[in-house]
Each structure stands twice: as structure tokens, then as C-alpha cells.
Chains A and B, each alone.
Chain A
Amino acid sequence: MTEALLGFIALLTLSFMRVPIAFSMVSVGFVGMIFANSLQGALSSVGQTAFDAAINYELSVVPLFVLMGNFVTRARLSEELYTASNAFLGHRKGGLAMATIVACGGFSAVCGSSLATAATMSKVAMPSMRKYGYDDGLAAGAIAAGGTLGILIPPSVLLVIYGILTQTNIGKLFAAGILPGLLGILFYMLAVRSVIAIKPELGPPGERQGWGLRMQALSRVWGVIVLFAVVMGGIYGGIFSPTEAAGIGAFGAFLFAAARRALNWRVFYEVLLESVATTAMLFTVLIGALVFANFINLTTFPQTLLEVAGGFKDRPWLVIVAILVIYVLLGCVFESLSMILLTVPIFFPLVMSLGYDPVWYGIVVVVITEISLITPPVGLNVFVLRGVLPDVSTSTIFKGVTAYWIADLFRLAVVVGFPPLSLWLASYVT
């Protein structure tokens, strides 16, 4: 138990000193294993973990979905999505912010990354909201919050990683993410309505568009619909495995980008390089987390946790609440992937011992991670926006995101308290 706690302290200290999290985890895990086991055991564990983590068919879904997201981003599908949602919602009070959220949700359906969703949508939605005199905070908040849907609405890179870590069916996880994602869109729209009800001047209405224009705008989003239908329909219907779906999705997105002349050789190479660099970064963290988890599993820490949780058998929700609090705290420091890789191996057996569903827990973890993406001080989505909109201050965006953050807490409560919301669609996946 003491070794594990010392390990966590060492890991945090090194990481705060700016050592990359992956290398902090490898070194602490390695030294920890020497103490908890033996030098020989620690040495062989590092080599085996690094090699086995890299050679893994299931994990090939990660680079392919990252690639798909990067092609989609370059294919400018975001513009059509925004035009369409704007045609339907723009004339309402706060309508452009609501349109932004719906467009973010649509983009999430073809992109598995929250940061990419926020970055892409900000380029499309922000200029138009500014044109109509929207408050910077409300506008940027809509993009930062809407962007978080990227990791919940399938495809989702984080759900893939969770699925592989816990041996949970990725198709089921993807299906389970759909309804909580739609609920997220609904709650965010309610958040905009509430803000506008208090301060109508923050989000003035835009122009009303006739049904002819609306239908025309809607017909242009067929690209997104086709990609989503093929990828999710394929997985849902059991026609392809997640890796195959990701390969086909990436190929489809590549064809879209090429057909729209969005690709020249330089852009094409950039897309590939970005994707492989992200993949390598994810895998280094993965290898680090596995080495660290090997160390933790050699200590009495997991057993102690299980015993403590066992004491709450008649009130298991208390354990869930405790875990959620820990996630919120960790989310203030760690970025999403490191947080999941660090915590899931520890908490998953605990949650399973209390009789909860693995698919449901995956969705809970991702929803709480979404919240961490817009929580100060780290709130990565906010920093992405800050990079794209240098003239809006970080505190303005954090202030603007508050209403959405509260909406997220309500959604978390619904997802935690009402498991069928996640499990109903998942039950149809074989």
C-alpha cells in the first residue's frame, strides 16, 4: 500500500516538473517494480510491455480513426454542418450558439477527438456569431463545450482505448455513446436558452431562412451522414469489426477530401504525419501506463481498494460518487487520455466487483472526462480555442463555459442514475 502511494506521489512530482507523463510512468513503474518484486522482474516487464502493446490488432483502430478525423477536418465538412444547423436554428434567440452545438454534435459523428472538433468548429462558427454580436464568452463556450462531444458520440478514440483496456466490446461502447451524446446536445441547448433568458443581449437572433433554403442546406450534409452511416451501421450491423470500420471510414474521408480538392501533396503528408504523431504519442502514454499498472498490481493497493469498496456493498453508489470526485480532481491536472489510462486499470475491477455494467462505466468515465476538458485550470478545449481566438481571454472562455459545465453535471447525474440510457442501444449490438 505504501509503495503504491509513494509511486503516485513520485509520478505526480515528476509530471509537475514537466517530464512527459509517459516517461514519468515508465520510470516510476520500473523503480517501483524493482522494490515490489525484483530487478530481473522489472527489467523483463518493461521489454515485454513495450513490445506487446505495440503489436496489437485491436489497437490499430486508433491510428485509423485518428486519420479519419484528420481527413474529415480538412474536407471542410464542418462548414456544411454549420450552415445547415444555422438555417434551422439561427433565427432564434441564442440560435447561432445552439446551431454551433448541433454542428459540433454532427461533426463528432465522424471525428473521434474533442480537440479536433473544437478547433475545427471554432473556425466556422466563431466568425458568424461575432457578426451577429454574440457575447464572446457564450460563443466560445458553445464551441468548447460542443467540442467535448467528440469523445462521446462515436467514433471515439477514448472509448476504443477503454474498450481495449477492459476487454469490453467496442461496438457496444460506440452504440452506448449515442444517446448520452444526444442528451448532451439537448442539455447544452437548454443551457444556451437559460443564459439567454437571463441576459437576452448576449445572443441576438440571426436571420430567418425559408424552408427552401433549409432543405437545400440540409441536403449538403450528406457526406457526414454517409460516413457515419457506413462506419456505425457497419459496426452496429456486425458487418465489420471496429478496425475495418475505421479503415473504411478513413478511406471514405480521404476520398471526400480528395474529391473536394482539399488535398495537395503537402496537406496530404501533413494529415498523415499528424495522425502518426498522435498515434505515437498515445502509444507512449499507453506503454507508460501499462508499466505503471504492472507495478501497482504488484502492491497491495488494488486489494486494499477492493476490501474498502466491499464494505459499501449495500450502498455501492457511494463508491461511484467517490470515484467521480477523484476523476474531477484528477481532471484538474491530467489530460484526458493519461487520466483514463491511469485510473481505469485501478477502478475497473472495483466497479465490476460491485456488480455494475462495464459498458455503462465506460460511458460514465468518458462523460466525466468531457467535463474535465472544460474545467479550469487545465481545460484543454478552452486552450485550443484560446489558440484559435487569440483576442479572447482564457477567463472569458472559462466564464462563458460555466452554463455548459452546469449542464454537464446534470447530464452526468442522468447517465449515472439511469443506466438504460447508455445500455439500451448497446443491447442490440452482438
Chain B
Amino acid sequence: MTEASEQATGSPRHKLAYWLGTVPGQALAVVSCLLLFAMMVLTFVDVGGRYLFNSPLPALHEIISFTMPGIIFCVLPTVCFREGHVTIDLLDGFVPEHWKRWQGFAVNLFSAAAMALISWRLAVRAYDHFQFDEATDELYLSLWPFSLFAAVLSAVAVVALIAAAGGYLAGVRRHPSLPGAGRA
């Protein structure tokens, strides 16, 4: 099931589910891409600066460490909506066709619950960071906005997973799709 064909079918309610699954995710994915590109350029400039001009970028270590959650959590909703996570599909041949829809629904709902757990705990972590006024070592940045962002973006991923489950319920998705993005 491609995203385009999923968009073409379905009632207005399902279009809303589709919108919730894709649009915020796509916008965030652009942010994630920009962050990765920036990380690449910064590393290059840093090494160049260090060896050519003897002046590396200050605190780059920390900047890169804190770019990582941005890259990961911003693209997570897209990965979730596309069902791009690593799965074992060995039994696919043995699952009867008419069960597959319900399998897809249940699996995505289960994943949403697991993701919600992560999101909730990250939010609690953010509250702790805020309460104890925790900061980074070099730049003295407050930690809580980072953990809060991670929590909020995980929550968007939960919505994306629920939207994917909704796709199965509505019948616009029939089979759990093949694992998406490349693997190591």
C-alpha cells in the first residue's frame, strides 16, 4: 500500500487519520534531515578549523551530542507511520489473508502503547530536569527543553502509530508493509 493510494481512498475521517499520520511527520522529517546535514558540515568545518587555522569550533562535542536526539525523534513519526521498524516477517506466509488486517491493527496499537510509555517517561524526565535545573556541562544549556522535545515528538510518533492502526481498521491498509528504510 503506497501512501498515495492510501490517500486516494477512504472517508473524510480516514483522511484525517492519514493527515495526522503524514503531515506533521513529513514536516518534522525535513527538520531531521537539516539537522543531519548541519551535523556533517559542522564536523567538517571543525576538523578543518582545527588543522588549518588552529581554531576548532567551541563546544562542538556537546552541540553534536544534543543534535542526535533531534535527528532521531524528529523522523520517528515518519518511520512509525510507514511501519519502517525492524520486524520478523518469517510467519507472513502462514498467516491467513483475512487475519492480516487485524494483525496490522493489533501490532500498531501495541507499538503505540510501547511508544506512549517511552513518551510518558521522557516527559517525567523533562519535569525532573526542570525541577532540579539540570544543565549541560560546557554550554550550561538547560536540559529540560531537550527531554521535553523528545517526549513531545515521541507523542507525535504515538499518533502516527495510531493513525497506521486506523488505516487497517478502515481497510485502506491490508497487509503489514515490508520493512521500509535500509538496514545495517
- The answer to whether B181 and A274 touch across the interface, beta carbons within 8 angstroms, is yes
- The answer to whether B107 and A18 touch across the interface, beta carbons within 8 angstroms, is yes
- The answer to whether A51 and B147 touch across the interface, beta carbons within 8 angstroms, is yes
CA distance A409 to B139 in the complex (A): 51
Within 8 A of A (CB), among B140-184: 146-147, 150, 154, 176, 180-184
- The answer to whether B111 and A23 touch across the interface, beta carbons within 8 angstroms, is yes
- The answer to whether B86 and A338 touch across the interface, beta carbons within 8 angstroms, is yes
- The answer to whether B46 and A244 touch across the interface, beta carbons within 8 angstroms, is yes
- Decide yes or no whether A75 CB sits under 8 A from chain B: no
| A277 and B65 in contact, given A284-B76, A378-B90 (Cβ under 8 angstroms) | no
- Decide yes or no whether A377 CB sits under 8 A from chain B: yes
| Chain A residue with Cβ nearest B103 | A18
| Chain A residue with Cβ nearest B136 | A55
| A54 and B73 in contact, given A20-B87, A250-B40, A287-B118 (Cβ under 8 angstroms) | yes
- The answer to whether A54 and B183 touch across the interface, beta carbons within 8 angstroms, is no
Residues of A within 8 A of B88 (CB): 15-16, 18, 21, 333-335, 378
Residues of A within 8 A of B84 (CB): 277, 281
CA distance A17 to B67 in the complex (A): 34
| A280 and B40 in contact, given A46-B118, A57-B64, A287-B118 (Cβ under 8 angstroms) | no
- The answer to whether B87 and A280 touch across the interface, beta carbons within 8 angstroms, is no
CA distance A326 to B33 in the complex (A): 38
| A279 and B75 in contact, given A18-B107, A115-B183 (Cβ under 8 angstroms) | yes
CA distance A427 to B82 in the complex (A): 44
- The answer to whether B64 and A55 touch across the interface, beta carbons within 8 angstroms, is no
- The answer to whether B65 and A60 touch across the interface, beta carbons within 8 angstroms, is yes
Per-residue CB contact flags for chain B residues 30-59 toward chain A (1 = under 8 Å, else 0) read 001101110111111011000100000000
| A18 and B118 in contact, given A55-B69, A244-B47 (Cβ under 8 angstroms) | no
CA distance A63 to B92 in the complex (A): 31
- The answer to whether A63 and B90 touch across the interface, beta carbons within 8 angstroms, is no
- The answer to whether B64 and A243 touch across the interface, beta carbons within 8 angstroms, is yes
| Chain B residue with Cβ nearest A12 | B88
Residues of B within 8 A of A278 (CB): 181-184
CA distance A157 to B182 in the complex (A): 12
- Decide yes or no whether B114 CB sits under 8 A from chain A: yes
CA distance A151 to B121 in the complex (A): 34
Residues of B within 8 A of A336 (CB): 183-184
- A114, A273, A274: the one within 8 Å of B184 (CB): A114
Residues of A within 8 A of B103 (CB): 17-18
| Chain A residue with Cβ nearest B83 | A20
CA distance A287 to B157 in the complex (A): 15
Per-residue CB contact flags for chain B residues 91-121 toward chain A (1 = under 8 Å, else 0) read 1100000000001000100110111011001
- The answer to whether A269 and B72 touch across the interface, beta carbons within 8 angstroms, is no
Residues of A within 8 A of B122 (CB): 47, 50-51
| Chain A residue with Cβ nearest B100 | A18
Within 8 A of B (CB), among A108-129: 112-116
In the complex, what's the smallest C-beta–C-beta distance from B87 to chain A, in angstroms?
Answer: 5
| Chain A residue with Cβ nearest B183 | A115
Per-residue CB contact flags for chain A residues 377-410 toward chain B (1 = under 8 Å, else 0) read 1101000000000000000000000000000000
- The answer to whether A18 and B89 touch across the interface, beta carbons within 8 angstroms, is yes
- A15, A277, A285: the one within 8 Å of B75 (CB): A277
| A377 and B90 in contact, given A244-B43, A273-B33, A281-B181 (Cβ under 8 angstroms) | yes
Residues of A within 8 A of B79 (CB): 277, 280-281, 284
- The answer to whether A19 and B72 touch across the interface, beta carbons within 8 angstroms, is no
| A56 and B68 in contact, given A67-B40, A336-B184, A337-B184 (Cβ under 8 angstroms) | yes
| A60 and B115 in contact, given A15-B88, A281-B85 (Cβ under 8 angstroms) | no
Which of B62, B65, B78, B183 gathers the greatest number of chain A CB atoms within 10 Å?
A: B183
CA distance A115 to B183 in the complex (A): 7
Within 8 A of B (CB), among A37-74: 43-44, 46-48, 50-51, 54-57, 59-60, 63-64, 66-67, 70
- The answer to whether B114 and A251 touch across the interface, beta carbons within 8 angstroms, is no
| A55 and B75 in contact, given A16-B91, A47-B122, A278-B183 (Cβ under 8 angstroms) | no
Contact residues of B with A, CB < 8 Å? 29, 32-33, 35-37, 39-44, 46-47, 51, 61-62, 64-69, 71-76, 78-79, 82, 84-92, 103, 107, 110-111, 113-115, 117-118, 121-122, 124-125, 146-147, 150, 154, 176, 180-184
